[in-house]
Structure 1
Amino acid sequence: MIPIRAARPDDAAELVRLRRLMFHAMHGTDEPGPWEASAEEAVRRQLSEPEPVLGAFVVDGDEPGDSRLAACAVGRVEERLPAPAHPTGRFGFVFNVCTDPRYRGRGFARATTEALLDWFAARDVTRVDLHATEDAEHLYRSLGFAEHSIPLSLDLSRRRA
């Protein structure tokens, strides 16, 4: 059995390190930047809230003397207006699933993602969205994810210029 636990605020730096690894897998870049300090602060704050909207599940690394995380799955509950198919108005978004390269092939991504999906279900989330790399698409499909049409999106950071 894979030892999964809920992430704690003091895991913030490691969750951001794994996020950087995910960006490398998705976009070929993993350069550190000022976003990391903001991300660490957001993780700490959102995991410390009395009723957290951030769900994060991790597997600790098992190499001697290494305190790094082996894997994580992180998502957030978003509340929108209820609709016939989504009476609670609660949607989930998975935005960070990553396994450190030293630990790949052990089922950690599946196990942490399943824990995150259970967390969403316990909060009456009716739909969960994510973006996946081609390499990970088979994992998400095996968990029941399917194509969904999101017709348009806008990067507001470009409008501010």
Structure 2
Amino acid sequence: MITVRAAVPADAPELVRLREVMLASMQSGTIATGSSTDWKAPTEAILRASLAGDDATRPVFGVFVVDDEERPGRLAACAVGTLEQRLPAPGHPDGLFGFVFNICTDPDRRRRGYAKACTQALLAWFDGKGATRLDLHASPFGQDLYRGLGFTEYSIALSRTTLR
């Protein structure tokens, strides 16, 4: 049986480590801008504050993890998402949208159902918050998982990145 739990502030360094694993697998080992470490400290600080409930100016994060039972103090997998307040629209009377953006399993812990279990916990969290739409950008590794959980393709996504 897989035990999923809500993350706590002390998990922040491991969540940063898993985010780096995810980014490396998605971007062939490179980070799009800046040095390979300039994002780590702010990411850890944001996660710690959010998970402690200390920073009301930050988005509301849902973070669910599976502990690595063979390596105490390490996480085997995580799923992270944010709840966003947008303007209400037909079908979205409260304007609460979710965005799933960080699902990762340590490479040597994959194919055990950890990512699916974490993602299901995250989806239940979104449901409990009243989110009426969830979006994500899927890597080739995760497409089957997300489709199996009810996600479908709906449009072409465009983005604009401002380089610093």
Per the normalisation by structure 2, the TM-score is 0.89
Where do 5+ consecutive residues of structure 1 fail to align?
none
Q: CA RMSD in A?
A: 1.7
The match for 2:70 among 63, 74, 92 is 63
SS at match of 1:58: strand
Distance 1:151 1:100 in 2: 28
After TM superposition, give the deviation of residue 27 of structure 1 in Å.
Answer: 0.6
After TM superposition, give the deviation of residue 148 of structure 1 in Å.
Answer: 1.9
Q: Verify: 1:26 aligned to 2:30, yes or no.
A: no
Deviations 1:47-76 (A, max 9, x none): 122787100000000115x31100000000
Runs of 4+ in 1 over 3 A off after TM superposition: none
User: What's the counterpart of residue 76 of structure 1?
Assistant: 82
Indicate the structure with greater helix content: 1
Q: Verify: 1:122 aligned to 2:128, yes or no.
A: yes
Distance 1:40 1:135 in 2: 25
Q: Number of residues paired by the alignment? A: 157
Give the partner amino acid of 1:22. M
Per the normalisation by structure 1, the TM-score is 0.91
Q: Which moved more, 1:81-90 or 1:28-37?
A: 28-37
SS at match of 1:67: coil
After TM superposition, give the deviation of residue 150 of structure 1 in Å.
Answer: 4.8
SS at match of 2:22: helix
Distance 1:67 1:49 in 2: 22
Q: Verify: 1:38 aligned to 2:42, yes or no.
A: yes
User: What's the counterpart of residue 8 of structure 2?
Assistant: 8
Counterparts in 2 of 1:89 and 1:150: CA distance versus 1, 3 Å: farther
Distance 2:123 2:77 in 1: 16
Contact 1:21–1:30 under 8 Å retained in 2: no
SS at match of 1:85: coil
